Amino acid sequence: MELLVILPLAAFAVLAVLFLKVLRRAGRIVARSREIQGFRSGIRDLDLRIGQSLDGAAQRIDAVRRQELPAEGIGDTLAAATDAVVRYAEEARALKGPPEARAIGEDIAHELGRAGRAIDMVDHGVTILASVRRGGRELEAQTSIKRGYLNLIHAREAISRHAARAADLSSERGLRRTFRALVPEVPDNGSDHTI
C-alpha cells in the first residue's frame, strides 16, 4: 500500500524537476531573444543617426570639393560631424548584447574612428584652401579634401554593412543548443527509416 503512494509522488517529483529545467531553459531563450532584439534596435537607430550626420557632412564636403561652396563655409559642419562621430563611437561601444554582437559594436566604433580621421583630413584641406588660393598648396588642399571625402564615404558604407550584420543576428544557435540539451540524440544505427 505504501509503494502505491510513494511511486506516484516520486514520479510527480521527477516530472516537476524536469518541468522546472525546461522552464529555466525557455526563460534563457526568451532573455537571449530580448537581448538580441534590443541590440538590433539600438544598432538600427544608431545607423540611422550616423547616416544622417555623415551623409549630410559628405554632401557639403562634396560641394566644397566641386567648388560649389566656399571652403570657409564648411567649418561648422566639420566640427558638428567630428563631435557626432565621437559620441556615436562611445554609444556603439556601450551597446549591450550577446558576445557575437559586441564585435559588431566594436567594428562600428572602429569605422567611426576612420570617419573621424577622414573629417580631419578634409579639415586640413579646407584650412589650406581657405588660406592659399593659388599655387602648389591648392593641389594639396584639393587632394586632401577628395581623399577625406572618399574615406568618409567608405567608412559610412562599412558602418552600414556592420549594421546589416546586426540585423542578421539570431538566437537560432542558442535555440539549437537548448533543444539538444532537452532532447537527447538518438544514435544512428545505420537503419534508413523516417519518423
User: Would you kindly state where each structural domain of the chain is located, as residue ranges?
Assistant: 2-181
2-181, CATH topology level: A middle domain of Talin 1 (1.20.1420)
Binned at pLDDT 50, 70 and 90, residue 168 comes out as confident
Tens digit of each residue's pLDDT (9 = 90 or more) over 71-130: 888 999 999 999 999 999 999 999 888 877 888 999 999 999 999 999 999 999 999 988
Classify residue 85 by burial, with Cβ atoms within 10 Å: 0-12, 13-18, 19+.
buried
| Average pLDDT taken over every residue of the chain | 84
**Per-residue pLDDT at 35 exceeds 60:** yes
Query: Rounded CA gap, 36 and 42, in Å?
Result: 10
Binned at pLDDT 50, 70 and 90, residue 174 comes out as very low
Residue 130: partners with Cβ closer than 8 Å, 6 or more residues away? 71, 72
13 touches 72 (CB < 8 A)? no
First to last CA, the chain: 41
